[in-house]
Amino acid sequence: MNPIAAAAEHVLRAHPHPALRISELVELLAGPLDRALDEAKLRTVLERYPDHFRLLDPWRGPWRALAREGDGPARHRDVWVVAVEDPERPSADGGATAALERSVEGAVDYLLFVDEAKLGRIKGTSGFAERFSALGPSDGRGRSLRQLQLDGRLMRYPLSYLIYSPAFDGLPQGARDAIYRRLWDVLSGNVDDARYAHLLPPDREAIVEILVATKPGLPEYFGAAVPSR
């Protein structure tokens, strides 16, 4: 599941009210997860998961024709979002089930920059890259998931620093366990899939070492050596 959708589901299930306006949901998610998030973008994400969310839209159907052309953004604010209760879907609190593990593949791919567009060389003079990279956290060798490469790809170490975000840490334990397990399986080479070919052995090893040094609560199995292959 997309990380934004996963975080939205967690917020909705933890909230005392059964439904939230999409604008309220954006406010809860935008800061820790994606500052560019708005109602339209969140709606697009949530509509990909009809088994997890219901969007209650007063402008859907024949009423849409009555809306003025300039009312587009306002229409999104009238939408309410409900997390769907599915008795056949295991609770996240019950552990990392096979169904949950399958659902987090997309989240792990997102974190690992799968299908990232190849970049040409980008060079600036503002000093932003240096300041951003220095935000850390860094390991004992000064390496950080915030280090920019800007030549061929965006990041020097292709694992998103969003793994440090409150939204990630706020996921249900079962969801985090499944994400960590999938992440380890990919980085350790247990998953042999062409879509991870961009993760060269030195990258995999460095990512694991950075996580071990900087990510509290990381499962102990990340301390195992990453095969050099």
pLDDT-derived band at 103, boundaries 50, 70, 90? low
The parent domain of residue 60 ranges over: 3-86
pLDDT digits (tens, 9 = 90+) for 2-29: 888 888 888 887 776 667 888 888 888 8
Q: 149 or 61, which is more confident?
A: 149
Are residues 102 and 173 located together in one domain of the fold? yes
pLDDT digits (tens, 9 = 90+) for 22-64: 888 888 887 666 678 888 888 898 888 888 887 776 544 433 4
Find, among 192, 175, 8, 170, the residue nearest to 102 by Cα. Answer: 175
pTM score = 0.56
Are residues 10 and 74 located together in one domain of the fold? yes
Structural domain ending residue among the three candidates 27, 56, 86 = 86
Are residues 113 and 213 located together in one domain of the fold? yes
Beta-bridge partners for 83: 53
Domains in the chain, number:
2
The mean per-residue pLDDT over the stretch 86-100 comes to 46
Q: What is the pLDDT of residue 229?
A: 54
Exposure class string for 94-111: b at 16+ Cβ within 10 A, else e: eebeeebbebbbbbbbbb
For residue 228, tell me if it sits in a domain.
no
Structural domain ending residue among the three candidates 86, 106, 130 = 86
162 phi and psi, to 5 degrees? -65, -10
